[in-house]
Amino acid sequence: MSRIFNFGEDVAGYNIRVLNEREIRAGAGLLFVFMFIAILSAIMQTNFTLLKYAVMIFLADMLIRVFVNPKYSPILILGRFIVRNQVPEYVGAVQKKFAWVIGIALGLTMFILINLMNTFSVITGLLCLICLIFLFFESAFGICLGCKFYSWIYKEKAQYCPGEVCEIKDRQEIQRTSLPQWIVVIAFVAYIVSLVYFFNDTFKAPPRELFSGKSIEEMQQEQQ
């Protein structure tokens, strides 16, 4: 039973239990896509059915990770299969457990408000947004926001963080961001703002079919 109910793996060369960050990022990406589609369905179509399923799946998976074993998490199993040909990147298990406990708290609150009470409010909207932010940062940037909270609360130095961000060291030259690069980013933001300002009305115009010249509304009326 101890092999089933466990947290983290013993890997030679590491003095604490670790997890494979690559499969965790893959799992976060899968959950992000599912949650994002479910939230869009609730916002755009006012249909909360998919979101209720997504909340239950999210919560169940987090409960398995924390109270049973991460390697029996269905989402992480899929993530492991997806990145099976990649070399593992080991991260400390203890800070991941703390992050997933936060996920359980968020998922349980959403489950009560959305599934049991069948309600929606600013609170549920914020909780969904927080979940998306956590999942997006994990999958896109490899940044575990919950792991950062761990070191703040417990005042301990987390070990084996993704990308060795726990280690205090100088950035390499290829990692430095120069002033000209920041100027380019600012200029690009200004470019986007100018696009919205000057072309918003033009872009709002419905497109026309290339050969007939008819708009989408006209084509829909003809079909009716």
User: Hey, what amino acid is at 1?
Assistant: M
Identify whether residues 99 and 129 lie together within a single domain: yes
Dist CA 143 CA 163 (whole Å)? 9
* 95-130 confidence digits (pLDDT tens): 899 999 999 999 999 999 999 999 999 999 999 999
Q: Is residue 91 part of a domain?
A: yes
Rama region for 55: left / alpha / beta (φ>0; ψ in -120 to 50; rest): alpha
* 47-98 confidence digits (pLDDT tens): 999 999 999 999 999 999 999 999 889 999 999 999 999 988 888 888 899 9
Contact 55, 68 (CB under 8 A): no
Taking every pair of Cα atoms in the chain, the longest distance, rounded to a whole number of angstroms, is: 71
Identify whether residues 80 and 22 lie together within a single domain: yes
Contact 70, 19 (CB under 8 A): yes
Residue 163 has pLDDT above 60, yes or no: no
Whole-angstrom CA distances from 38 to 49, 57, 179 are 8, 12, 40
Q: Is residue 67 part of a domain?
A: yes
Of 169, 195, 210, at which residue does a domain stop? 169
Identify whether residues 152 and 41 lie together within a single domain: yes
Identify whether residues 78 and 133 lie together within a single domain: yes
Residue 215 has pLDDT above 80, yes or no: no
Q: Is residue 7 part of a domain?
A: no
Query: H or E element: which one contains 136?
Result: helix 122-136
Residue 181 confidence class, pLDDT cut points 50, 70, 90: confident
Domain count, the chain: 2
DSSP codes, 43-84: HHH---HHHHHHHHHHHHHHHHHHHT-GGG-HHHHHHHHHTT
Q: Is residue 3 part of a domain?
A: no
Residue 161: the pLDDT is 64
Q: Is residue 1 part of a domain?
A: no
Identify whether residues 31 and 103 lie together within a single domain: yes
Q: Is residue 208 part of a domain?
A: yes
Q: CA triplet 90, 135, 169: central angle to 5 degrees?
A: 45
Tokens of 36: 């994002």
Specify the pTM: 0.79
What is the extent of the structural domain holding 215? 173-224
Identify whether residues 83 and 141 lie together within a single domain: yes
Identify whether residues 111 and 151 lie together within a single domain: yes
Q: Is residue 42 part of a domain?
A: yes
Identify whether residues 202 and 160 lie together within a single domain: no
**Going along the chain, which residue ranges are E strands?**
18-20, 90-92
Contact 81, 132 (CB under 8 A): no
Residue 1 has pLDDT above 60, yes or no: no
Residue 94: the pLDDT is 86
Residue 53: the pLDDT is 95
* 26-47 confidence digits (pLDDT tens): 999 999 999 999 999 999 888 9
Identify whether residues 163 and 99 lie together within a single domain: yes
Tell the burial category of 100 from Cβ atoms under 10 Å away from its Cβ (0-12, 13-18, 19+). Answer: buried
